[in-house]
Structure 1
């Protein structure tokens, strides 16, 4: 199970690669734990766009230590930034219902809250000219 992680904004891949557990940073971020964000991102993109999800691009590939950093695909960034509250709610509820593995469960309320916060982060990303990334640690 994911014990720690966050979606965050960074200037570039090199900056994103320096983020992780117990590493302080000043990037705008939304914490995530208790589910696998890489799986979630794929589901969200499909649910929000109605198209197959884009492949994820690793910034720090996962090794035996359980740590990874990946770039959130641009189609999902645009979809999150442009989504209305009802669409985020519908997506969050659908995702929570589908995330039913024992180590990958999330309540509908938490799913909707997370997507609303990520939508705000995606909007600020565009305004600031930054990219959206995610790191997580799953020992």
Structure 2
């Protein structure tokens, strides 16, 4: 699955490059990130309807928005905390037995990039196909 995390333009004409990745389930990743950064369990987040789907899976396409709580947590997290969460995410992905599972290095790059987006705008979006 190809994944793109992005933010809306701020009206200034500046374009912020999306953070792209592949070979992981973005909704599961976002739930893990939010759980580890906020202390809310994945089960509770799912019960609350997170992440909020904007475009349901149709024709191989899914779109959703991060919760405000996750955006704030990402924006506030320091690099060490982001790296810790990213490495845990990579370990979880590797435990699923997929030979193409995301590496710790790639996970760190993605999560740092997504946090940088969260620092620029209140809402972070994801689309995947």
| Same-fold call, TM cutoff 0.5 | yes
Q: Which runs of 4+ in 1 moved over 4 A?
A: none
1:79 partnered with 2:79: no
- Give how far 1:48 is off: 1.2
SS state at 2:54 partner: strand
**Structure 2 spans left out of the alignment, 5+ residues:** 10-14
SS state at 2:22 partner: coil
Taking only aligned residues, the RMSD between alpha carbons, in angstroms, comes to: 1.8
CA distance in structure 2 between the aligned counterparts of 1:71 and 1:103, rounded to whole angstroms: 29
CA distance in structure 1 between the aligned counterparts of 2:77 and 2:92, rounded to whole angstroms: 20
- Give how far 1:5 is off: 2.1
Q: Deviations over 1:96-138 (max 9, x none)?
A: 1011322772111111111111111100114xxxx2110000x
1:34 partnered with 2:23: yes
Partner of 2:35: 46
CA distance in structure 1 between the aligned counterparts of 2:100 and 2:70, rounded to whole angstroms: 20
**Structure 1 spans left out of the alignment, 5+ residues:** 12-25
Question: Could you tell me the TM-score, scaled by structure 1's length?
Answer: 0.76
- Give how far 1:34 is off: 1.4
Find 2:3's aligned residue among 5, 9, 15. 5
Q: Deviations over 1:73-97 (max 9, x none)?
A: 1111111100001101111111110
Query: Do the aligned partners of residues 83 and 57 (structure 1) sit closer, same or farther apart at CA in structure 2, a change above 3 Å counting?
Result: same
